[in-house]
Amino acid sequence: MADELTHLDEQGRLKMVDVGGKEPTARLARVRGEIRMARATARLIAENKVAKGNVLEAARLAGIMAAKRTGELIPLCHPLNLTAVSVDLHVGEDRVEVEAEAKIDDRTGVEMEALVAASTALLTIYDMCKGVDRGMVISELRLMEKRGGQSGTWVREEE
């Protein structure tokens, strides 16, 4: 783990990290999260019977769109030209699991882009289903893997 916070200058002020001297490398980040809900809500999603429309496709598209806007949403993130973003959704008995992946060939990582994609997909599910289930809980949002850059590869050990 890094010993210092790179977004602070010598006086403790926030700054955007200068990545200009780094060589571009292939980078990847993979993130998971879930939204727990009533079984009846999960069934409505799985059967595409939610009144607002196709929840899974709306969430997938929202996640992809959000990843592309991460530099505008998170104050110290660099604006990036992503090479790929995917958002996969799996409906369980009482939840929807989301896995988002972002890729780039650049000087900085894409962890935040993958996190924004997954969280936005989860929020979209909540928005589209809140009329039938206000008790939904978004949880377990976490980085599973990152590859590339100076710190190399990191993979979460399975819980």
Strand partners, 26: 105
Residues 6+ apart with CB under 8 A from 72: 79
Decide which of 74 and 7 is more confident. Answer: 74
Mean pLDDT, residues 90-101 taken together: 99
The CA distance from 91 to 82, in Å, is 27
Check the CA dihedral 68-70-73-76 and report its sign.
Answer: negative
Token code pair at residue 30: 């993979």
* CATH number of the domain where residue 122 is located: 3.30.70.640
Q: Decide which of 23 and 94 is more confident.
A: 94
**H-state helical runs in the chain:** 39-46, 55-67, 70-73, 111-129
Which tokens sit at 37? 């809900």
Asked if residue 53 belongs to a domain, the reply is yes
Q: Which domain does 124 fall in, by range? A: 32-148
Share of the chain above pLDDT 90, in %: 77
Structure confidence at residue 133 as a pLDDT band (50, 70, 90): very high
In-domain check, residue 24 = no
Q: Is residue 81 part of a domain?
A: yes
Q: Which amino acid is at 81?
A: N
Residue 80 lies inside a defined structural domain of this protein: yes
pLDDT in tens, 141-154: 999 999 998 889 99
Tell whether the model's pLDDT for residue 5 goes beyond 70. no
Number of domains, the chain = 1
Question: Does residue 2 belong to any structural domain of this protein?
Answer: no
- Please tell me the predicted confidence (pLDDT) of residue 1: 46
**Active-site hit among 3, 9, 105, 127:** 127
- Digit-coded pLDDT (tens) for 17-71: 878 878 899 999 999 999 999 999 999 999 999 999 999 999 999 999 999 999 9
Active site residue 127: yes
Give the angle 152-144-123 at the CA atoms, nearest 5°. 130
